[in-house]
Amino acid sequence: MNTTSPSYLKHHFLLAMPHMADENFAHTLIYLCEHNADGAMGLIINQPSELNLAEVISQLAPEQQSLPAALYEQSVFAGGPVETERGFVLHDDPRPWDATAELGELRLTTSRDILLAMADGDGPDHTLIALGYAGWDAGQLDQELIDNVWLSCPADQHILFDLAPTQRLQAAARSLGIDLGQLSSQAGHA
């Protein structure tokens, strides 16, 4: 009888293995916001879309006349293939935004108030904005991990907020002592 409890990976990174066949997830690094017996939810954090935050805010709140220059430089990420019109702000600001989930040291906000604060220059210092998310049904991610589709490691805020998107996947792999370029693109089990 197996008496071990499942190991869930909330606040971890998922690194797509080189043999990832799903084009939605090939070469991705995902921050897992939730992982439990009911399934998992995360955001792809290394695939910027062609949108910047100023464009999103202009569509959301056309009454905003003057936006801080930094918002034109801030990428909006393609967070995953599910609900691609829905926005998520991953941040470390403890203020009570309208719709926020606590993720330990981080928070995930889906309400408009945080974006309006950013438009006024009063938003969180560290943010990652994504449209859409990656989702797994109950047991689906667990099976993909068993099938060697993903590697996992604890999330690192330095990788998440300080590194360029193109550096994040390799930095997460290095935290595991792995060079993804040295891994085979062929799947298998020993």
Question: What does the pLDDT look like over 130-144, one tens digit per residue?
Answer: 999 999 999 999 999
Question: Looking at the predicted structure, is the pLDDT value of residue 180 above 90?
Answer: no
Percent of the chain beyond pLDDT 90? Answer: 78
What percentage of residues in the chain have a pLDDT greater than 70? Answer: 93
What is the rounded average pLDDT of the residues 72-87? 96
Give the closest residue to 142 by CA, choosing from 2, 20, 40, 10: 40
Reported pTM = 0.90
pLDDT above 60: residue 2: no
Measured CA to CA in angstroms, residue 27 lies from 21, 38, 63, 121, 158 at distances of 10, 26, 38, 33, 19
Report how far residue 171's alpha carbon sits from residue 157's, in angstroms, rounded to the nearest whole number. 12
Instruction: Give the three-class secondary structure for 117.
Output: helix
Please report, for the chain, the start and end positions of each structural domain, with discontinuous segments joined by +: 12-182
Q: Does domain 12-182 have CATH number 3.40.50.2300?
A: no
Has residue 164 got a pLDDT over 90?
yes
Q: Tell me the pLDDT tens digit for each residue of 17-75.
A: 998 989 999 999 999 999 999 999 999 999 999 999 999 999 888 887 788 888 999 99
